[in-house]
């Protein structure tokens, strides 16, 4: 260590020239709540990074007639009135690259996991214009979440933006984490951006990911609840920039923003402190643009541009199920569909607590694998009819046989869509069990035994090492021959 | 009454000062201070003064250059510096000296919000930042 210091000193001393540095400077007029008003800095640009004499850094956000409003990123407490501020001439940027994988960093790209410095080769600006029309192509490859209900009914494609929305404690983060765990062998690099989260929750998530060996393809960007609002505001853009790097390398990346409601709160705080006029719910006028410019950066690039993709899974927390509040409606309108989680369903034991009727994926179905598409069509119809009948059947008891049968199958389907946390399933397994329920192989299994049946059946698939399972998994197709083999497997399993 | 901006105060004062004879100058300055005190804007005085300097320079007056140095410059150094600055900026300059021992050595020359930094202390600070980063 001392050796390197001497080396650097030598290098510095050797390159010492009498040439003076020039800079644009200003002085802090007042400072408070993480915002500094600076006089001078006449040529500073919007979003330019500035440095304070005390060592703090900030971003120039408000350019006014005779002052500049600076959002202080780190060291808000050490900045003093009258202090010198220098413009850097550069926009805010973060380190990107493979060196970040497996690490926990703050929104400035500095490591906070105690595993030493990050030797990143490249930096990307945090604010970037989204890829244009010419460089994009439509979503066509799936992101397998490993969750039956989602992969079958609300499929997500690479480059899609799918909102996960629900009240607190409905399993929003769990869906995102399961999706990250399931990307282990898919080549998708995941970035989990925690905005205003408890550090304890992140420690738990890191432990969970490490347990499943999923940190090897994951970057965690953390702006914890005790960090200044400026960092919470920056976090999703920083995470997005890190994902964009992988997209630009032709790879596939997935970013989870957990959650954008807290991001909106942080931006509201910064905006009000900068004295920008408040609008609805005291959010500033550009709150829609705040999220739309972030989510627009998710894209599937065409072959000429490397063919990479950036999938976004924003999370929104609603208050008492109010989807029509300001921020939820904004983000719903920006994204390509939403996964709606409801606390009622959660307490009824339906986990994931997915509202299958209201959840949609606007573009994902074109990315769905053929085998899954084959079983999902029937499944969606069954579920819709079941919901209709279940509501109706509550009033009358004398039902005809066909209705009864439909209801019974619906109950089993709903039961089969339940899935525990941290138990992602392979495509072939999902296809097999969903095929079984839609084709009536489970009609004579008691509803309470459906999950046991599923457990044993998937176990038999895993241990049986049947060639057809691997074939479905690899090709993603359910050809008539494979279907026959699946049928035989189901019948023999039933007999045993 | 609506509070005026710093620039407006400076412009008004300069206009009044230019129109008045020499012996009235002190009175005008007094009046500005009274007005500011009445509007509870006295804290703006240093910024108004800075703006005045800028205005005077804009209107063809001498440009104020702040020179901060660790040691007091000798008379020869002073004239040399003024000559060079006038040549570089292509206009008349007025040098304001500030003695700042913490610079250790070298000078910081500031024109408006442009700073030429040749102080030893800044170089040490840069070296420190560089070492912390690597």
Which of A411, A430, A441 is CA-nearest to residue A469? A430
Alpha helices (runs of H) in A15-101, residue ranges in sequence order = none
Task: Tell me the average pLDDT across A307-315.
Answer: 97
Query: What is the separation, in whole angstroms, between the first and last Cα of chain A?
Result: 67
Residue A274, Cβ neighbours under 10 Å: how many? 16
CA–CA gap between residue A440 and residue A406 (Å, rounded): 10
Cβ pair A370, A166 in contact under 8 A: no
CA–CA gap between residue A166 and residue A163 (Å, rounded): 10
Q: How many CB pairs under 8 A join A and B?
A: 48
For residue A335, what pLDDT band results from cuts at 50, 70 and 90?
Answer: very high
Asked which of A130-134, A320-324, A469-473 is least confident by mean pLDDT, the reply is: A469-473
For residue A17, what pLDDT band results from cuts at 50, 70 and 90?
Answer: low
Indicate the average pLDDT of chain B: 87
pLDDT tens figures, A251-302: 999 999 999 999 999 999 999 999 999 999 999 999 999 999 999 999 999 9
Task: Tell me the average pLDDT across A426-438.
Answer: 93
Which of A187, A319, A321 is CA-nearest to residue A265? A319
Cα B12 off chain centre by: 19
Write out residues 206-225 of A within 8 Å (CB-CB) of B: none
Q: Which residues of B touch A21 (CB under 8 A)?
A: 116-118, 122
Q: Which helix (H) or strand (E) holds A50?
A: strand A48-52
How close, in Å, is residue B22 to chain A by CA atoms? 31
Quote the radius of gyration of chain A (alpha carbons, Å). Answer: 26
Q: Is the per-residue pLDDT at B61 higher than 90?
A: no
Residue A157, Cβ neighbours under 10 Å: how many? 24
How close, in Å, is residue B116 to chain A by CA atoms? 4
The tokens describing A281, both together, are 């719910």
* Nearest-CB residue to B114 (from A16, A24, A65): A24
Cβ pair B117, A51 in contact under 8 A: no
How close, in Å, is residue B113 to chain A by CA atoms? 5
For residue B118, what pLDDT band results from cuts at 50, 70 and 90?
Answer: confident
* Nearest-CB residue to B130 (from A8, A16, A86): A8
Helices H / strands E in chain A, number of each: 15, 19
Angle between helices A467-475 and A427-438 (to 10 degrees): 100
Which of A2, A58, A46, A50 is CA-nearest to residue A25? A50
What pLDDT is attached to residue A112?
A: 94
Q: Is the per-residue pLDDT at A1 higher than 70?
A: no
Q: Which residue of B has its CA nearest to A1?
A: B134
pTM of the model: 0.90
Which of B6, B118, B91 is CA-nearest to residue A40? B6
For residue A76, what pLDDT band results from cuts at 50, 70 and 90?
Answer: confident
For residue A396, what pLDDT band results from cuts at 50, 70 and 90?
Answer: low
The tokens describing B125, both together, are 């600070």
Residue A65 touches partner B, C-beta closer than 8 Å: yes
E strand residue ranges, A225-377: 252-258, 299-300, 309-317, 337-341, 360-361
Classify A163 as helix, strand or coil.
Answer: strand
CA–CA gap between residue A69 and residue A74 (Å, rounded): 15
CB-based contact A20 B118, cutoff 8 Å: yes
Angle between helices A370-393 and A401-416 (to 10 degrees): 120
Q: Find the angle CA(A37)-CA(A23)-CA(B77) to the nearest 5 degrees.
A: 120
Complex-level ipTM beyond the 0.90 threshold: no
For residue A361, what pLDDT band results from cuts at 50, 70 and 90?
Answer: very high
Best mutation target, B58, B66, B113, B132, to test chain A (most A CBs within 10 A): B113
Cα A54 off chain centre by: 36
Q: How many residues make up chain A in this entry? A: 496
Task: Tell me the average pLDDT across A71-79.
Answer: 92
- Is A362 considered catalytic here? yes
What pLDDT is attached to residue A16?
A: 60
pLDDT tens figures, A291-308: 999 999 999 999 999 999
Q: Dihedral through CA A476, CA A480, CA A484, CA A486, nearest 10?
A: 10
CB-based contact B134 A20, cutoff 8 Å: no
Residue A26 touches partner B, C-beta closer than 8 Å: yes
Task: Tell me the average pLDDT across B17-32.
Answer: 90
DSSP label of A41: -
pLDDT tens figures, A26-59: 999 999 999 999 998 988 999 999 999 998 999 9
What pLDDT is attached to residue A12?
A: 67
CB-based contact B130 A40, cutoff 8 Å: no
CB-based contact B116 A9, cutoff 8 Å: no
Integer CA distances (angstroms), A234 to A47, A231, A284, in order: 11, 5, 16
Q: Is the per-residue pLDDT at A188 higher than 90?
A: yes
Indicate the average pLDDT of chain A: 92
Query: Residue A26: beta bridge partners?
Result: A40, A85
Q: Which residues of A touch B113 (CB under 8 A)?
A: 24-26, 40-43
Q: Which residue of B has its CA nearest to A11?
A: B127
Which of A15, A344, A52 is CA-nearest to residue A170? A344
Q: Find the angle CA(A183)-CA(A186)-CA(A192) to the nearest 5 degrees.
A: 35
Task: Tell me the average pLDDT across A354-359.
Answer: 91
CB-based contact A4 B134, cutoff 8 Å: yes
What pLDDT is attached to residue A18?
A: 54
pLDDT tens figures, A373-388: 999 988 988 888 898 8
């Amino acid at each position: 260590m001392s050796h390197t210091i001497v080396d650097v000193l030598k290098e510095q001393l050797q390159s010492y020239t009498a040439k003076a540095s020039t800079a644009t400077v200003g002085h802090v007029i007042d400072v408070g709540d993480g915002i500094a008003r600076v006089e001078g800095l006449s040529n500073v640009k919007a979003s330019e990074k500035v440095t304070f004499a005390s060592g703090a850094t900030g971003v120039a956000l408000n350019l006014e007639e005779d002052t500049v409003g600076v959002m202080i990123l780190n060291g808000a407490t050490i900045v003093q009135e009258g202090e010198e501020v220098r413009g850097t001439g550069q926009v805010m940027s973060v380190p990107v690259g493979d060196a970040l994988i497996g690490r926990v960093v703050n929104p400035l790209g500095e490591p906070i996991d105690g595993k030493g410095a990050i030797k990143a080769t490249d930096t990307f600006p945090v604010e970037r214009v989204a890829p244009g029309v010419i460089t994009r192509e439509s979503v066509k490859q799936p992101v397998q979440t490993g969750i039956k209900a989602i992969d079958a009914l609300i499929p997500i494609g690479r480059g899609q933006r799918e909102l996960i929305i629900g009240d607190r404690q409905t399993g929003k983060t769990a869906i995102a984490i399961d999706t990250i765990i399931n990307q282990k062998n898919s080549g998708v690099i995941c970035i989990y951006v925690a905005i205003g989260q408890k550090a304890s929750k992140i420690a738990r998530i890191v432990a969970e990911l490490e347990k499943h060996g999923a940190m090897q393809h994951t970057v965690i960007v953390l702006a914890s609840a005790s960090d200044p609002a400026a960092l919470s505001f920056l976090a999703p853009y920083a995470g997005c920039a890190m994902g964009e790097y992988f997209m630009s390398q032709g790879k596939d990346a997935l970013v989870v923003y957990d959650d954008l409601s807290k991001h909106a709160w942080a931006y509201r705080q910064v905006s009000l402190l900068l004295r920008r006029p408040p609008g609805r719910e005291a959010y500033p006028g550009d709150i829609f643009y705040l999220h739309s410019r972030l989510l627009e950066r998710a894209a599937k690039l065409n072959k000429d541009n490397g063919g990479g993709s950036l999938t976004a899974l924003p999370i929104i927390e609603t208050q008492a199920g109010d989807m029509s509040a300001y921020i939820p409606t904004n983000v719903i309108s920006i994204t390509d569909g939403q996964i709606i989680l409801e606390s009622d369903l959660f307490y009824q034991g339906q986990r994931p607590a997915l509202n299958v009727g209201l959840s949609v994926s606007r573009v994902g179905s074109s990315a769905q694998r053929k085998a899954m598409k084959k079983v999902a069509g029937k499944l969606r119809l069954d579920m819709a009819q079941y919901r209709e009948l279940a509501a109706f059947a509550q009033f009358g008891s004398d039902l005809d046989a066909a209705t009864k049968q439909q209801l019974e199958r619906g109950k089993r389907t709903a039961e089969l869509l339940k899935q525990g946390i941290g138990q992602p399933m392979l495509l072939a397994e999902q296809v097999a069990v969903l095929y079984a329920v839609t084709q009536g192989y489970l009609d004579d299994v008691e509803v309470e035994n459906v999950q046991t049946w599923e457990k044993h059946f998937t176990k038999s698939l895993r241990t049986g090492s049947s060639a057809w399972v691997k074939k479905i998994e690899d090709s993603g197709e359910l050809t008539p021959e494979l279907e026959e083999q699946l049928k035989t497997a189901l019948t023999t399993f039933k007999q045993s | 009454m609506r509070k005026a901006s710093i620039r407006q105060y400076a412009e008004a004062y300069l206009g009044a000062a230019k129109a008045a004879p020499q012996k009235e100058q002190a009175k005008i300055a007094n009046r500005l201070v009274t007005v500011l005190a009445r509007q509870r804007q006295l804290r703006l005085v240093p910024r108004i003064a800075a703006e005045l300097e800028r205005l005077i320079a804009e209107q063809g007056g001498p440009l104020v250059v702040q020179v901060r140095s660790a040691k007091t410059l000798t008379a020869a150094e002073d004239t040399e510096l003024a000559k060079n600055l006038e040549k570089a900026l292509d206009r008349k300059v007025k040098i304001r000296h500030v003695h700042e021992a913490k610079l250790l050595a070298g000078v910081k020359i500031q024109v408006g919000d442009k700073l030429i930094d040749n102080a030893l202390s800044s170089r040490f600070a840069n070296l420190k930042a560089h070492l912390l980063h690597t």
